[in-house]
Amino acid sequence: MVVAQISPPEVTDAGARFLAEVTSKTAGISRLEMCIQCGSCGGSCPSASAMDHTPRAIFALIRAGKRDEVLHSNTPWMCLSCYHCVVRCPQEIEITDVMYAIKTIAEKEHAFPSSVGPDFGGVFIGQAKRFGRSWDLGLTARHYLRHFPLRLPGMTPMAFGLFRHGRIGLLPTRIRQRKQLHAILKRADELERAR
Amino acid sequence: MSSYLYYPGCSMEGSGRSYRESLESVLEPLGIALEEIDDWNCCGATEYVSLSTTPAYAMIARNLAIAAGEKKNGESLVAACSACYLNLAKADHYMAEQPALNARVNDALGAGGLHYDPGTLRVRHLLEVILTDVGLDKVRAAVKKPLTGLKVAPYLGCMVPRPDVDGAYADHDQPKSLDMLLKALGAEVVDYPLRTECCGGHMNQIAPKVGLELVRRLVSEAERLEAVMMVTVCPMCQINIDAYQGEMNGMFHTKHKMPIVFFTQLMGLAFGVEPKKLGIGREYTNASKVLAKTLKAAPELALAAAGAAPAHRPRPDKRALPMPRMADSEVEE
């Protein structure tokens, strides 16, 4: 008698590999493999209409191993971090953190659909790392000059208004132990690269 | 007087300055003290976690490690900004859940001579501390000038009721926590269905069409319900609704003028603190006018609000569809 051999799931499968990659990059436990494709995520998403793919479609693409398509989708960049989907997901998938994980992979490979989102995050974090605090004026000035110069004339009265009301500081605030912070972040960067 | 460790966050020093000012003036009447942790750093908002995981959590955990080192009595670390609160809470939660993340973050912290064991601190949001530890009875007792006649839309935002890593919220969509507090101050609270909808976060900076549409929804709904102002617990929500309203009006050809203030500012007013000390007037869409107009008429009405029920039921709006209404007693507690 011939017994059919049932082989374990192929680890060389592109879908399984990409699923494992995204899962390992997620901060907590993603539970992404539990997705039942119900679409509750897209249905509760306030920015779904601006997305190339709904979150459900992104998860299907991940399992299908469509790595390029996922990394070049604007979906994670349109995520607002409102967590509507997370509390509604019947499988308790950490959807917001999965979106963050996709962004970290896309950032590393410069494989994003538009540079506006990554640049904003990059400038914000560059300043936060350097000073230990975020710096509204430096961030918005640089960001708008680069990506939305046409919005600047409209923004000027607002900037002045905020300045007049003492809500924007001209100079960045710095923490005392910047060296300590930089040492921590340097080591963290090494550890992240080694993963 | 109970004392808590306190993480202010960058916004409280800058764009959300009136939040800090008003918070400082309501601490004494509430009987709580906040001890700011030493040399805290930016939590990274939602930006760092989208850029690189380990450094993002190491940056957040530096604050947790400093706070744990300063822990004397009690274990609560309080944050007033919703995004800071969530980042701190999530770092603690995920470090406990994922040993690998915990190891990497503590390895990195070690380079700066720090260490943090997840679970050492309980990260909490200011609103929850006021509702649970102080309690509404004490808030009611501190009210000197009830906000009678001030019709407000309670806007809680996303990151306090969701994702709710501690499981503190039974209702993630329509929690009534902020409603209850504002009612205790004597304000008239409209049943604002968008209370936990998103303000757009950083979307006003990276995709204005998406972000400003969310601002439009929130503002126009508050206006439809005839609220004279919105009340928030988050500096990010405040600046998105307040400062971007002009640009939003331009985009959608609307003329909304909906002020938005922090709940601590209204608490201060009800406790009899001078408006100037509460940072009222720092908002871009002016709230002083409507506050002055409503609260001037208040003293005579104040007695009615303190105990007695209104003499007659308010007439239902004739234009409105017959919708089931929640009894006030149900909303109250």
Contacts for B137 with CB less than 8 Å, ≥ 6 apart = none
Place of tokens 């439809």: B224
Chain A: residue whose CA lies nearest to B48: A125
Q: Which chain B residues touch A96 with a CB distance below 8 Å?
A: 163
Task: Write the CA distances from B91 to B7, B8, B198, integer angstroms.
Answer: 14, 17, 22
Q: Give chain A's radius of gyration (CA, Å).
A: 21
Angstrom distance (rounded) from CA A189 to CA B102? 15
Residue of A103, A122, A176 with shortest CB distance to B39: A176
Among A180, A165, A169, CA closest to A139: A169
- Regions of chain A where pLDDT drops below 70: 1-12
- Residue B100: give its domain's CATH number: 1.20.1050.140
Examine residue B138 and state whether it is found in any structural domain, yes or no: no
DSSP-assigned beta bridge partners for residue B76: B122
Examine residue B58 and state whether it is found in any structural domain, yes or no: yes
Q: Do A117 and B111 touch (CB under 8 A)?
A: no
Residue of B10, B97, B208 with shortest CB distance to A133: B10
Is A168 an 8 Å CB contact of chain B?
A: yes
State how many domains chain B has. 2
Considering the domain architecture, whether residues B270 and B298 belong to the same structural domain is answered as yes
Phi, psi dihedral angles at B36 (to 5 degrees): -65, 130
State whether residue B5 is helix, strand or coil: strand
Examine residue B123 and state whether it is found in any structural domain, yes or no: yes
Examine residue B325 and state whether it is found in any structural domain, yes or no: no
Q: Do A183 and B111 touch (CB under 8 A)?
A: yes
Considering the domain architecture, whether residues B186 and B259 belong to the same structural domain is answered as yes
A157 prior amide bond cis, ω within 30: no
Angstrom distance (rounded) from CA B188 to CA B227? 9
- Residue B158: give its domain's CATH number: 3.40.50.11810
pLDDT of res. B293: 85
Which domain range does residue B80 map to? 2-127
Considering the domain architecture, whether residues B165 and B220 belong to the same structural domain is answered as yes
A109–chain B nearest CA distance, Å: 11
Q: What's the whole-number average pLDDT of chain B?
A: 90
pLDDT of res. B142: 96
Of the residues B127, B159, B192, which one is the last residue of a structural domain? Answer: B127
Phi, psi dihedral angles at A89 (to 5 degrees): -60, 120
Tokens of B132: 């649970």
State whether residue B152 is helix, strand or coil: strand
Going by the DSSP 8-state scheme, the letter that residue B319 receives in this structure is T
Examine residue B159 and state whether it is found in any structural domain, yes or no: yes
pLDDT of res. A152: 87
Give the number of other CB atoms < 10 A from CB of residue B320. 8
Is A153 an 8 Å CB contact of chain B?
A: no
Opening angle at CA B263, ends B207 and A125, nearest 5? 40
- Regions of chain B where pLDDT drops below 70: 73, 297-318, 320, 322-333
Give the A window 22-81 contacts with B, CB below 8 Å: 25, 27-29, 46-47, 50, 76-78, 80-81
Considering the domain architecture, whether residues B214 and B244 belong to the same structural domain is answered as yes
pLDDT of res. A159: 85
Considering the domain architecture, whether residues B174 and B285 belong to the same structural domain is answered as yes
Residue of B39, B163, B282 with shortest CB distance to A167: B282
pLDDT of res. A3: 63
Considering the domain architecture, whether residues B257 and B201 belong to the same structural domain is answered as yes
Considering the domain architecture, whether residues B170 and B300 belong to the same structural domain is answered as yes
Considering the domain architecture, whether residues B116 and B178 belong to the same structural domain is answered as no
Burial of A43 (0-12, 13-18, 19+ CB in 10 A): middle
Is A142 an 8 Å CB contact of chain B?
A: no
Q: What residue spans in chain A does CATH classification 1.10.1060.10 cover?
A: 14-109
pLDDT of res. B327: 56
Q: Which chain B residues touch A50 with a CB distance below 8 Å?
A: 207, 209-210
Strands annotated E in chain B: 2-7, 32-36, 76-79, 122-125, 151-155, 188-189, 229-232, 260-262
Considering the domain architecture, whether residues B295 and B162 belong to the same structural domain is answered as yes
Considering the domain architecture, whether residues B92 and B207 belong to the same structural domain is answered as no
Q: Which chain B residues touch A121 with a CB distance below 8 Å?
A: 47-48, 50-51
Residue of B50, B110, B158 with shortest CB distance to A121: B50
Interface test mutation site (partner A, options B41, B155, B166, B173, max chain A beta carbons within 10 A): B41
Where does A14-109 sit in CATH, by number? Answer: 1.10.1060.10
State whether residue A40 is helix, strand or coil: helix
Q: Measured between alpha carbons, how far apart are the two ends of chain A, in Å?
A: 47
Chain A: residue whose CA lies nearest to B98: A28
Chain B: residue whose CA lies nearest to A79: B203
State whether residue B188 is helix, strand or coil: strand
Contacts for B195 with CB less than 8 Å, ≥ 6 apart = B153, B154, B155, B156, B174, B175, B178, B179
Considering the domain architecture, whether residues B163 and B287 belong to the same structural domain is answered as yes
Residue of B55, B111, B250 with shortest CB distance to A154: B250
Contacts for B84 with CB less than 8 Å, ≥ 6 apart = B7, B9, B11, B43
ipTM of the complex: 0.92
Summarised one tens digit per residue, pLDDT across range B153-177 is: 999 999 999 999 988 888 999 999 9
